[in-house]
Amino acid sequence: MTLFNPAASNGAGPAHDVLLIAGSRPEAVRIAPVAAAMARAGRIEPVPVAAGPDPMMVHAVLEAMGVPAAVTLLLGEPAHSEVAAAAALAVRLDELMLDRDPSAVLLSGGGITAVIGAQVAFWRQIPVVYLESGADIGAHPCPFPEGGNRRVISQLTSMFLRGSDRPSPSVPGGPNTILVGDTMAAAALSDPKLAALAERARAGRTRIVLLDAATDAVVAAAPGLLASHPDVDAVFIGMPGDADLLGHPRVSVLARSALPDVVAIIAVSTLGVTDRHWVGREAKDFGLPTLLVERADRPDLVPDVVRADPAAVLTAITQQLAERPDGRCQNADPAAAGRAEHALAWMFGLEAHPAPTARPSAGSQGTEGRAAGGHSLG
């Protein structure tokens, strides 16, 4: 079953439309700013699609990010396996692409939705645009299954939108690879103090370590972290139990769970620390390098887990910060989503260059940025 939202797509106006397909929270929060930038520019119709094994969750995320889904793909009965989910998703996406006949499909991440979406678009001879997910895969060159999926997607992609300039085994270089930056940075912070902190991080004047306030060993390690790293600010997700920390000038608390605030902080943070496996996994999908701390009540027999001891946690954080002396915010630019829209416009022949070469007028905010080389896709 497919749910269409007429209010989210007027069906008239621009000659080109793009299906922006998301199948998970990280994919949705990267795609949503691009859809918003397309709507602002008014020359390409964005069609946000909530898909994946849990499409209603993705639907809610797009709504929270201010971009209502134009289409929500329901798979019917819960799939009993990844293969069954992939088969059902392929059928729904094929029906959608046949009905819409879009000018292009934009995908992100390395999940089942991205790889099936790329394959179906390829079969329908629809150009595939891949927005780099930014997943921190570390020393593992091909994590299962995302690494393999990204390699498949790379063979079917017409244009790559890079989130950073670091090497990537699944995103080749070339004229159709454009550095746009991390589109998550388009999310705005509602707290003025955190907004100012984010600006300092982008300017390279601080590094942000995102700490899980529910992890006792992490809270206990925070004073030592702040004392030994004067260039680090700590942001707690949730309220820490140590009252003394709340008065520290380099401690902030993100007490609210509003998704745009969480996304905006993740986009400018250097490192995350938690003892919750699903949080750590999703943080890496968001592109945030994350340390996983052993749960004191349930020791974890998995690799790379830090002992639930404040000294061990502080040592691990220090080692990670030493590997990232300049943070990871070089590409966390709020204009990234506008550059992605500009690249799509170039692909459709609406722009002469793949990236903006001059600051635009007030009527096209969000598209300014560094120029990037490239040639038309024809």
Residues 85-109: tens digit of each pLDDT: 899 999 999 999 999 999 999 999 9
Could you identify the residue written with the tokens 């930014």?
134
Could you identify the residue written with the tokens 């991390």?
182
Domains 2-182+333-364 and 192-323 share a fold: yes
How much of the chain is in helix, strand and coil states, percent to nearest 5?
40, 15, 45
* Least confident piece of the model among 45-54, 71-80, 118-127: 71-80
Q: Kindly list the domain boundaries of the chain, sorted by start residue.
A: 2-182+333-364, 192-323
Q: Which pLDDT band, with edges at 50, 70 and 90, does 372 fall under?
A: very low
Could you identify the residue written with the tokens 């080749």?
172
Radius of gyration (C-alpha) of the chain in whole angstroms = 21
Q: What's the mean pLDDT when you consider all of the chain? A: 86
Q: What is the pLDDT of residue 303?
A: 65
Mean pLDDT, residues 16-35: 96
Q: What is the pLDDT of residue 145?
A: 81
**Cα–Cα distance between 109 and 58 in angstroms, integer?**
14
The listed CATH number (3.20.20.70, 3.10.20.30, 3.40.50.12780, 3.40.50.2000) that belongs to domain 2-182+333-364:
3.40.50.2000
Q: Report which listed range, 96-105, 241-250, 326-335, is most confident.
A: 96-105
Mean pLDDT, residues 50-60: 95
* Model confidence at 135: pLDDT above 60: no
Omega within 30 of 0 (cis) for the link into 299? no
Q: What is the pLDDT of residue 200?
A: 95
Residues 282-303: tens digit of each pLDDT: 888 888 999 999 986 665 556 6
Q: What share of the chain in percent tops pLDDT 70?
A: 84
Residues 195-222: tens digit of each pLDDT: 999 999 999 999 999 999 999 999 999 9
CB 112 within 8 A of CB 82: yes
Instruction: Please name the CATH architecture into which domain 192-323 falls.
Output: 3-Layer(aba) Sandwich (3.40)
Record the pTM.
0.86
Q: What is the pLDDT of residue 36?
A: 97
CB 50 within 8 A of CB 73: yes
